[in-house]
C-alpha cells in the first residue's frame, strides 16, 4: 500500500547479531524491484544485497498486457525442487508444474524493444511524476507523503465519490496513487483539481461540525 522497502543489509546484520545462521530471505519486489535495479536505488533487492530469491511482476513496471510474474532463485535452491518429467524430457522447476508460454515472449519483446536506456527513462519519468504529485498535494494542504525513491504517493482518503471516480486503492484511512509508466502530467493535474475541490468541501464540512 505504501511501497515500503526493507533494508536487506540491515536485516542480515541483525540476523548475525542474533547468532541466527540458518535463514532464507525472499523479496517481494513485484513493483519496485525492476526500476530500483535499473537506477541502482537503495535499499537494493538482489542477490548481492542478501536475497535468496525474489519475485517481480511483468505486468506492472515492464507492462506485459497479461498478468505474469517471474521468480529468481539461487541455483542451489532451484535444484532442490527440480523433478524429472518423462513426457517433456527435462527437469521441471516451476512452482505449479506448468507455465504460460506467452508471458516470456511478451517480457522478451518489451525488454528488447525498450532496451535498458528506455526502461531507465520510464523509471526516471515515473519518479518525476511521483515527486510532482506529492509536492502539488502538499501545496494544496493535503498531507501527502511517499517512501524514499518510491513512485507510490499516499494521502488521506478523499470522499467515496472521488475514490470511485479514480479507482483509488484505500486502506486504514489512506489512499494512494501509483505513478506507473504512462501516467502523464495532464492526468495528474486533472486528479489534483478534483482533490482540491474535494478537500475544500471536506474542510467546510469539518468546520460546520
Measured distance CA(125)–CA(61) in Å, rounded: 12
Measured distance CA(162)–CA(71) in Å, rounded: 36
What SS3 state is found at 100?
A: coil
pLDDT 10s digits, 5-42: 999 999 999 999 999 999 999 999 999 999 999 999 98
| Cα dihedral sign, 111-115-120-123 | negative
All domains in the chain, ordered by first residue: 8-113 (3.40.640.10), 116-208 (3.90.1150.10)
The pLDDT value given to residue 122: 95
With CA atoms as reference, report the closest residue to 110 among 63, 68, 172, 144.
Answer: 63
Q: How far is residue 4 from each of residues 9, 43, 86, 98, 167, measured CA to CA in Å?
A: 15, 10, 43, 32, 21
pLDDT 10s digits, 163-180: 999 999 999 999 999 999
The pLDDT value given to residue 46: 86
The pLDDT value given to residue 98: 63
Q: Which residues of the chain are modeled with pLDDT < 50?
A: none
Amino acid at each position: 500500500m505504501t511501497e515500503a522497502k526493507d533494508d536487506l543489509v540491515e536485516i542480515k546484520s541483525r540476523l548475525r547479531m542474533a547468532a541466527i545462521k540458518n535463514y532464507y530471505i525472499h523479496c517481494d519486489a513485484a513493483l519496485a524491484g525492476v526500476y530500483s535495479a535499473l537506477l541502482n536505488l537503495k535499499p537494493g533487492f538482489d542477490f548481492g544485497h542478501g536475497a535468496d530469491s525474489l519475485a517481480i511482476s511483468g505486468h506492472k513496471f515492464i507492462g506485459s498486457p497479461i498478468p505474469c510474474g517471474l521468480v529468481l532463485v539461487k541455483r542451489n535452491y532451484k535444484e532442490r525442487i527440480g523433478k524429472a518429467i518423462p513426457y517433456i524430457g527435462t527437469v521441471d522447476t516451476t512452482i505449479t508444474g506448468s507455465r504460460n508460454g506467452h508471458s516470456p515472449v511478451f517480457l522478451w519483446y518489451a525488454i528488447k524493444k525498450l532496451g535498458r536506456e528506455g526502461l531507465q527513462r520510464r523509471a526516471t519519468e515515473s519518479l518525476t511524476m511521483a515527486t510532482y504529485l506529492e509536492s502539488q498535494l502538499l501545496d494544496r494542504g493535503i498531507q501527502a507523503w511517499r517512501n524514499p525513491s518510491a513512485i507510490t504517493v499516499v494521502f488521506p482518503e478523499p470522499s467515496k465519490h472521488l475514490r470511485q471516480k479514480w479507482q483509488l486503492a484505500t486502506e486504514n484511512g489512506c489512499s494512494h496513487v501509483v505513478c506507473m509508466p504512462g501516467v502523464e502530467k495532464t492526468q495528474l493535474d486533472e486528479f489534483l483539481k478534483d482533490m482540491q475541490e474535494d478537500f475544500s468541501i471536506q474542510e467546510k464540512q469539518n468546520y460546520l461540525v
